[in-house]
Amino acid sequence: MAIVSLTAEIGCPVEETAKLAAVRLGYHLLTEFDLAETLEAEFGAIEIPPAAWGSAVQSILCRMAADNHLLLAFPGAGYLFPDFPAMLRVHLTAAEGRKIGNFMLEYGLDRAGAKRRLASAVRKQQALFRSRFDISAPTPEMIIHITEWTVEQAAQVVAAAGECRPKDYFSDAQFEFDLRLKLASHCITPNGVATVKSKIFSHPSEELFANLLDFYRIAWVYEPRSFPLQWNESGAVTEAFTPDFYLPEGDLYVELTTMKQSLVTKKNRKVKLLKAIYPHINIQIFYQKDFQELVFKYGIRAGH
């Protein structure tokens, strides 16, 4: 099976690009959050030493890649599998102004504050990589400069490149043995339980809506990204909002609201706040009545 790693300079929309590209390719996506969950499932609630991190991650991915195409979108993904012939490495770059602008939107900062935070994030990531890897990252096969691009355009290019790569999984028994040996030297034993998870919706209505979109051949991404809404004095996010769906063809976020009125009111407040902080974001709310009319009209059921 094929593996694509999508990395980026800090401040580039790597996760949003990866989610759209994974949908287009039909690959299983592993973000930083997904990887953390997978590592805990495989090794338990232990702190993996930096020197063993790469081996721990690769030991899981070897098993996953035996049956699934993978798109890796987490820091350090480009360092993995340096000799794997079916792996495509893509790296996103952007002008400094765009990256600072993204940080201004993401964290609600002025330009000077966003510039300082960006520089601090870059230093922290560089230190993290130095602690985890004793080699330089392999040169990416593709570098995409996205300063003037939309996320959708970047995802299209990543997906097109991924389609051209070989899809045969290269299994190297010696490589996997060396991984296990290195983990054993750190007293770490894989449990062999981490697997690719099926898509799980938070609410049955979300699955129904996804089926309706599939019925009309409308591309969608589930819970594409979280938007920070409130920050404390130190700049940490204290409140965020994650829309249910993103429809890339219309650049539209969709939030389903089929719950009781008290929760609807809270959700409406978050959507109103999101529009105020991110006026360029298009979002539409589907209320219970709207959703029921769609389901009754088209007869879409879960699993169809």
Summarize the confidence of residues 183-193 as an average pLDDT: 81
Give the pLDDT score at 304: 40
Q: Is the pLDDT of residue 91 over 90?
A: yes
pLDDT in tens, 15-43: 889 988 888 888 889 988 888 888 888 88
Mean pLDDT, residues 83-95: 89
Residue range 3-185 in CATH 3.40.50.300? yes
Q: Which residue has the higher pLDDT, 88 or 67?
A: 88
**Average pLDDT, rounded, for the chain:** 83
The helix/strand/coil state of 201 is coil
Domain ranges of the chain: 3-185, 204-298
Single pTM value for the model:
0.72
Cα–Cα distance list, 187 to 111, 134, 214 (Å): 46, 20, 47
- Could you tell me whether strands 245-247 and 221-222 are parallel, antiparallel, or unpaired per DSSP bridges? antiparallel
pLDDT of residue 100: 93
Where does 204-298 sit in CATH, by number? 3.40.960.10
Q: Which residues contact 30 (CB under 8 A, 6 or more apart)?
A: 38, 61, 70, 71, 72, 73, 74
Judge whether 3-185 and 204-298 match in fold: no
pLDDT at 291 over 70: no
